Structure 1
Amino acid sequence: MLELLDPDEVASSDLVDLLAAICDVPSVSGDETALADAVERALRAQAHLEVVRDGDAVVARTTFGRSRRVVLAGHLDTVPLTAEPNLPTRLVTAPDGEVEMWGRGTVDMKGGIAIMLALAAEVGRPGREPGVDVTWVLYDHEEVEATKNGLGRLARNRPDLLAGDFAILGESSNNGIEGGCNGTLRVEVRTTGVAAHSARSWTGVNAIHAAAPVLAALAAYDPREIEVDGLVYREGMNAVAISGGIAGNVVPDACTVTVNFRFAPSRSIAEAEAHVRELFAGFEVVVTDAAPGARPGLDAPLAADFVAAVLGATGGVPRPKYGWTDVARFAELGVPAVNFGPGDPALAHKDDERLPVARLAVGRDALRAWLLGASTGEAVEARDGA
């Protein structure tokens, strides 16, 4: 089905078939090259786009000389496949009659990628010129540690390619708008003991037992809800892994509890780290990964226009993004950004990851109307009539 990414087909191919084609190309983090190659071929054939390749990231830009530029971005990679068969994709009719596409990546976040790819081929053609200049950024290595992130690499090497007045991440949001995101901090809380034969355990000190206060503190932790620029973010502190011991008859002399702290965007990384160290005072705490959150940025003019266009007629309101997304990278560059994509974020990374396919057209039409400079009423009409 990779032929659906051929240049002549991108603008006209059915969004459902396009999503299947994108998902069915293997693209677990570190294995995005084949999909990036297909995306690059499709975008280079569009006369209205300038295309730059950086590793497995593809950037395409319109150059109409507009006074404002919007960046639409999404990651090409997925988390690994599981024992449950979730590729190739398949269409399933739900009990309520809604047709869903099941498969790894449908939610996180190739539904958004399919919309972006279709619009990149359409918006900018003669007679379909946008009201703003547009940059499309499709990048690699989002689902792994922050140091490998393709958008982060672009920010370091070619920040000019990410310049804009407003950015939209195609991360799943049920076609609603989710502002900002929580930050994330991962640490290892380490305990030590004295190794001994388990038959003579009184001669040693069990490092796993010494981790009990760490687990107790996590079980008792009361996460805060914090309002930031009108949106309420919920924090979370959880053990995500524990390791220790070398054999079934040895009292372990070392144990590590890996803890992930999701913190509101009002906290800096340094403040988040200080909070974790305070909670685990007396233990060795080693930071292994960290990324800042992003404030909502909904007061930016283009952000306000986008919110009015997408949510105005329904009376809906923007929501906070609890998970970390690359809106944080745009925030660091001074570009306000939101999350807007067709999938249900609660289904991301699950064995039953699936997307109601009707949402693809809804998201595409809302973005298309807004990019083409439609008035608020016209944009909402396009969204509701999809």
Structure 2
Amino acid sequence: MLLDLSASSLDITRAICDIPSVSGAEGRLADEIEEAVRAHPHLEVIRHGNTIVARTNLGRAQRVVIAGHIDTVPINGNVPTRRIAIEGEEFLWGRGTVDMKAGVAVQLRLAAELTAPIVDITWMWYDNEEVEASKNGLGLLAADRPELFQADFAILGEPSNGQVEGGCNGTLRAIVRTRGVRAHSARSWVGENAIHGAAPILARLAEYRAREIPVEGLGYREGLNAVRITGGVAGNVIPDLCEVEVNYRFAPSRSIAGAEAHVRSVLAGFEVEITDAADGARPGLDAPIAQQFLAAVGAEARPKYGWTDVARFSALGVPAVNYGPGDPHLAHHDEERVPLAQIEDVERGLRAWLSGA
């Protein structure tokens, strides 16, 4: 089947959502996208694994990257898609509609339609966003073809309810350990219970109050939470080890080193191992091209609380924002659904900006 990029963004969304592309199995959808965009001679098409790049080369004074991931979390009886109505509002229901194939569909339609945009555009559709960073198609492309990321501005089509979400929070994960001494539970007094020893860790985390940090006019809400706890040997043994996994979401004004120092200060006195960390991205909305974008799409600038791939662009010195249809609260939800009106609004906004209308 050849994707019809002259169809409506809604129809393209349905078509690509009904092609399963769970992380690691994006090959068929990548093939369909590559074949569809290669049919348009104004686009130079590059394939890197299951990441497809299509770009104009019109010699414009500025270049914009517009990107979206084509993978989804696992399907759970929510494909094929279907149209539904809730309290008079129409939605497209199904896996990937929010995160983030509606955004990808808008991008595909505009990539085919806009033969003479006012800026040169590099469109990127990439794989493996929903899994570990080492597999992320955007990251792998940046490592092998960094020249493709040279741009003045970038837009990631992550769901943002059709508003503009600037930058993103950083994220850090740590394991906090308590150690004890094993003993028979019938004679617990001769041992030391490591799980009991973790109680102060949980108390500190429960008492922690999230802060809102202003960054370039946007307020980023932080959070420090226990996300997993493990420990125990057997039903009759006092445990000698307990591990609490902690996730810290921190404002983009803070570095990874600063985030680590903060976590260690909150959990002072305990053994802390940092297992993973990624910088956030500053809003990037002070650049003139970003202000032009905001004005053209008529959207309200908001902070992005989660981590997204805008951080990859920010690390390369390219200001980047999130802008796409769909409610982020419904990403990965079994009732994932996107309002049809938001698909149309995002398409209209991007077209107006890119065409100078």
Specify which of 76, 80, 90 is matched with residue 82 of structure 2. Answer: 90
Q: Deviations over 1:134-161 (max 9, x none)?
A: 0001111222232332212122211111
Aligned twin of 2:25: 31
Amino acid at match of 2:349: A
Q: Deviations over 1:238-269 (max 9, x none)?
A: 11111122332222222211111100000001
For 1:90 and 1:190, locate their aligned partners in 2 and report how far apart those are by CA, in whole Å. Answer: 47
For 1:213 and 1:34, locate their aligned partners in 2 and report how far apart those are by CA, in whole Å. Answer: 50
Aligned twin of 1:338: 321
For 2:193 and 2:74, locate their aligned partners in 1 and report how far apart those are by CA, in whole Å. Answer: 34
1:57 aligns with 2:44: no
TM-superposed deviation, 1:58? 1.1
**Given that residues 63 and 122 in structure 2 are in contact (C-alpha distance below 8 angstroms), is that contact kept between their aligned partners in structure 1?**
yes
Aligned twin of 1:217: 204
Specify which of 316, 330, 345 is matched with residue 362 of structure 1. Answer: 345
- SS of 2:276's equivalent in the other structure is strand
Aligned twin of 2:270: 283
- SS of 2:277's equivalent in the other structure is strand
Q: Deviations over 1:143-182 (max 9, x none)?
A: 2232332212122211111111111110111111111111
**Given that residues 71 and 129 in structure 2 are in contact (C-alpha distance below 8 angstroms), is that contact kept between their aligned partners in structure 1?**
yes
Aligned twin of 2:113: 122
Runs of 4+ in 1 over 4 A off after TM superposition: none
Amino acid at match of 1:248: G
For 1:249 and 1:35, locate their aligned partners in 2 and report how far apart those are by CA, in whole Å. Answer: 52
- SS of 1:208's equivalent in the other structure is helix
1:175 aligns with 2:166: no
For 1:247 and 1:40, locate their aligned partners in 2 and report how far apart those are by CA, in whole Å. Answer: 54
TM-superposed deviation, 1:17? 2.4
**Given that residues 146 and 290 in structure 1 are in contact (C-alpha distance below 8 angstroms), is that contact kept between their aligned partners in structure 2?**
no
Q: How does 1:141-290 map to 2 (within 5 A)?
A: 141-290=128-277
For 1:103 and 1:284, locate their aligned partners in 2 and report how far apart those are by CA, in whole Å. Answer: 43
For 2:27 and 2:306, locate their aligned partners in 1 and report how far apart those are by CA, in whole Å. Answer: 26
TM-superposed deviation, 1:35? 1.6
TM-superposed deviation, 1:297? 1.0
1:106 aligns with 2:100: no
* TM-score, normalised relative to structure 1: 0.89
Q: For this pair of structures, how many residues does the alignment match?
A: 357
**Given that residues 181 and 322 in structure 1 are in contact (C-alpha distance below 8 angstroms), is that contact kept between their aligned partners in structure 2?**
yes
Q: Residues 277 and 248 of structure 1: is their aligned pair in 2 closer, same or farther, counting only changes over 3 Å?
A: same
For 2:70 and 2:233, locate their aligned partners in 1 and report how far apart those are by CA, in whole Å. Answer: 38
- SS of 2:194's equivalent in the other structure is coil
Aligned twin of 1:42: 36
TM-superposed deviation, 1:81? 3.6
**Given that residues 8 and 109 in structure 2 are in contact (C-alpha distance below 8 angstroms), is that contact kept between their aligned partners in structure 1?**
no
Aligned twin of 1:77: 71
For 1:101 and 1:17, locate their aligned partners in 2 and report how far apart those are by CA, in whole Å. Answer: 10
* TM-score, normalised relative to structure 2: 0.96
For 1:186 and 1:202, locate their aligned partners in 2 and report how far apart those are by CA, in whole Å. Answer: 34
For 1:111 and 1:177, locate their aligned partners in 2 and report how far apart those are by CA, in whole Å. Answer: 16
TM-superposed deviation, 1:278? 1.2
Question: Identity over aligned residues, as a percent?
Answer: 65
For 1:87 and 1:202, locate their aligned partners in 2 and report how far apart those are by CA, in whole Å. Answer: 56
Structure 1 runs not aligned, ≥5 long: 375-386
Amino acid at match of 2:350: L
